[in-house]
Structure 1
Amino acid sequence: MTNEEVLEIAVAMGEIFNDGNEGTAQRLVAEGFVDYEAPEGAPTGPDAYANTARWMRGVWKDARWEIVDAFASGDKATLRVVFSGTHVGEFMGIAPTNKRVEVQHIHIYRIADGKVHEHWAVRDDIELARQLGAWDRPKVGAPVAAA
């Protein structure tokens, strides 16, 4: 596959989360797909990825993953996205706050034979927790406690 084809498939994965298009999961996610962002032992494959998207769309009203940067090389595509949404369901042990958040993610997809086989992600969960009021960022220049 060309870099352009790999990138096109990675970008299309956004339809699953942004639009709730579970058909895209069935079309683009390989049966043996592994999501390394999911908890250990989580189900794999297209149905599992669609279920994750459905759950996220239930936790975050008006959830959007906007692509800011994207590139592909070989069988991998990398997307830097800004996630935004309003917190209406429990997430990472945090009860709904109805607060609107906006945080960055980086997603990497491995694509072969027109299907996504693996996914890795890095999310700014500390910034997310700060925006939800679950964590206070130390002030710049504040004294550090002695060890």
Structure 2
Amino acid sequence: MTAMTEEEVLQIALDMGRIFNDGDIEVARRLVADDFVDYEAPEGAPVGAEAYARTANWMRSVWENARWETVDAFAKGDKATIRLIFSGRQVADFMGVPATGKEVRVQHIHIYRIADGQVHEHWAVRDDLELFRQLGAWDKPLEGAPKPAPAA
């Protein structure tokens, strides 16, 4: 195992964004390790570089002008954390919500474990409740909105 600097770890994590933003399969083949585990994916989902790239391409087909814009990023040891804003316009079914044509803008946090120049593990936290609110599929009250009267 080759030791990597935190700067190298961070750069690899940032380069992973090219898989989603640009649909760059070569980046996936180069950076996604054979033993890669994506804890964000549903149990039993296909694994590996090709599967990760297929997920990215599917997302790009659901969301027109999909972008994952880095807002903040840092590395500590063999892990890198990226806070980003995802945006796009829904043009196909997403998790049971038919295409709405609505623009969304939501926050994600991604954590990558990197060793020997490749990503071995990925965790993510996405604000899916806010995403579904923006799509009109969930009616979360906005901050400062009046509270409903208690039931009698």
TM-score w.r.t. the length of structure 2 is: 0.93
Match of 1:27 in 2: 30
Shift of the alpha carbon at 1:141?
3.8
The yes-or-no answer on 1:44 pairing with 2:38 is no
- 125, 142, 147: which is aligned to 2:147? 142
CA distance in 2: counterparts of 1:106 and 1:3, whole angstroms: 18
Counterpart residue number, 2:126:
123
How far residue 144 of structure 1 moved from its aligned partner, in angstroms, is 6.3
The aligned counterpart of 1:102 is 105
Aligned to 1:12: 15
Q: Which runs of 4+ in 1 moved over 2 A?
A: 138-141, 143-146
Provide the C-alpha distance between the structure 1 equivalents of 2:102 and 2:146, rounded to a whole number of angstroms.
28
Take 1:81 and 1:122, find their aligned partners in 2: how far apart are those partners?
Answer: 11
Structure 2: runs of 5+ lacking an equivalent: none
Query: What is the total number of aligned residue pairs between the two structures?
Result: 146
Q: Percent identity?
A: 69
- Provide the alpha-carbon RMSD of the alignment: 1.1
Instruction: Tell me the TM-score normalized by structure 1.
Output: 0.96
CA deviation map 1:53-111 (0-9, x unaligned): 01000010100000000000001000000000010111110000111100000000000
Q: Structure 1: any 5+ residue segments left out of the alignment?
A: none
Structure 1 residue 2 corresponds to structure 2 residue 9: no
Match of 1:93, SS state, is: coil
Residues 41, 144 of structure 1: CA spacing in aligned structure 2 closer, same or farther, 3 A cutoff?
A: farther
